[in-house]
């Protein structure tokens, strides 16, 4: 009877190790798309087709601006700039208020930390104030990155 119990225990250990190995391999291979604001420690998982909005006040014309971005093909695509100020649209080189009025493909964008526009990003019904916590180069960098799933989970755990 002891022999049989020992064999069952060995089999269970081997199956567990095999399943754990498969899980580790999948998490190393699989990656997740993340919107990163490194200087704030923000890493928000995103999916293709998702939309987020950057809002700020244009400092020259003191007008609210809403920039609509969509996650597409591993990039950020600026699809619309909404403001009531024709002067802001003209300053940005945008000719129409009709949606969509922009089609710009980006991997990242930077905001000078000295900017006074109260920059905010709204993603997943959550507002993230970009504040003034700049990176080493004096800017706040917002970028889309692909992170291995296991590293993403590790970062979430160690926050």
Closest CA to 107 of 153, 145, 58: 145
Q: Give the three-class secondary structure for 111.
A: strand
Chain position carrying tokens 């002891």: 2
Per-residue model confidence as pLDDT tens digits over 84-121 = 999 999 999 999 999 899 999 998 998 877 776 788 99
- Please answer whether residues 56 and 65 qualify as being in contact, where contact means their C-beta atoms are separated by less than 8 angstroms: yes
Q: Which tops the pLDDT comparison, 39 or 49?
A: 49
Residue 62 pLDDT > 80? yes
By the 8 A CB rule, do 34 and 143 touch?
A: no
Domain map of the chain by residue range?
31-157
DSSP-derived secondary structure letter, 99: S
pLDDT band at 135 (very low <50, low <70, confident <90, very high): low
pLDDT digits (tens, 9 = 90+) for 87-97: 999 999 999 99
């Amino acid at each position: 009877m002891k022999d049989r119990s020992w064999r069952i225990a060995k089999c269970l250990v081997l199956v567990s190790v095999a399943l754990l190995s498969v899980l580790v391999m999948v998490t190393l291979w699989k990656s997740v798309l993340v919107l990163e604001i490194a200087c704030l420690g923000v890493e928000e998982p995103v999916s293709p087709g998702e939309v987020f909005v950057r809002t700020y006040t244009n400092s020259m014309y003191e007008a609210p601006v809403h920039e609509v971005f969509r996650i597409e093909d591993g990039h950020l695509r600026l699809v619309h700039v909404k403001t009531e100020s024709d002067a802001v649209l003209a300053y940005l080189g945008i000719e129409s208020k009709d949606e969509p009025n922009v089609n710009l493909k980006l991997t990242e964008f930077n905001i000078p930390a000295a900017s006074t526009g109260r920059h905010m990003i709204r993603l997943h019904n959550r507002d993230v104030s970009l504040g003034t916590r700049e990176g080493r180069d004096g800017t706040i960098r917002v970028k889309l990155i692909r992170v291995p799933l296991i590293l993403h989970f590790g970062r979430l755990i160690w926050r």
